[in-house]
A = this chain, B = another copy of it.
């Protein structure tokens, strides 16, 4: 890219104004795995929260991880996961961006974000956590383990995928799921949502 490069060293990084640094550092990881996490507490109170830290951990067993923060709106999600042992991961499409983003507001625990933002929930196969009806790809997950990171108090939540609902047409013959066709979007920074258009699949690399 023909452009003047900017070099940021440790001193400048640590002296950045707090909100500026949050925007900046949150952008550096690149595009992120975006999803709505659906949970319910032991009394039946539903919760829905947007996460952008979903990570593939393994295919056999099918494990998925995500980072939560104890001091934020993620807290209700984590509480519910620990109470019931289950949660759902629901992909976000373009037409849901505003509603998905709105789940990040600090609603009290007595409010269901499904109601507050206007996204209907859906029960599938008696799975013990609510799915987002409007999501194209819906994943039911059983909680396996939480790993606290002492370095900054964040918590890594590991779960095993138990069931998936998705359109037949987005699954290719080799198992690859066409997320562009599914309409799944991605996220960058704290508040930017992106539609993904092009795709290029490459063959298994050999030396």
Chain B: CB-nearest residue to A176: B23
User: Which of A33, A124, A147, A201 has the most chain B CB atoms inside 10 A of its CB?
Assistant: A33
Q: How far is the CA of A201 from the CA of B179 in the complex (A)?
A: 21
Chain B: CB-nearest residue to A35: B30
Q: Is the CB of B116 within 8 A of A207?
A: yes
A interface secondary structure, majority: mixed
Q: How far is the CA of A185 from the CA of B137 in the complex (A)?
A: 22
Chain B: CB-nearest residue to A21: B59
Q: How far is the CA of A137 from the CA of B8 in the complex (A)?
A: 11
Q: Give this chain's copy count.
A: 2
A123 at the A/B interface (Cβ < 8 Å)?
no
A57-B152, A186-B186 are known contacts; what are 19 more A-B pairs with Cβ within 8 Å?
A4-B167, A5-B165, A7-B165, A23-B174, A23-B176, A24-B177, A25-B56, A27-B176, A28-B64, A29-B64, A53-B55, A55-B55, A57-B149, A58-B154, A97-B200, A107-B207, A186-B196, A192-B200, A192-B201
Range of interface residues on A (Cβ < 8 Å): 35 or more
Contact partner of A151 among B7, B55, B145, B188, CB < 8 A? Answer: B145
Given contacts A56-B32, A194-B198, A200-B193, contact A168 B101 (CB under 8 A): no
Q: Is the CB of B161 within 8 A of A28?
A: yes
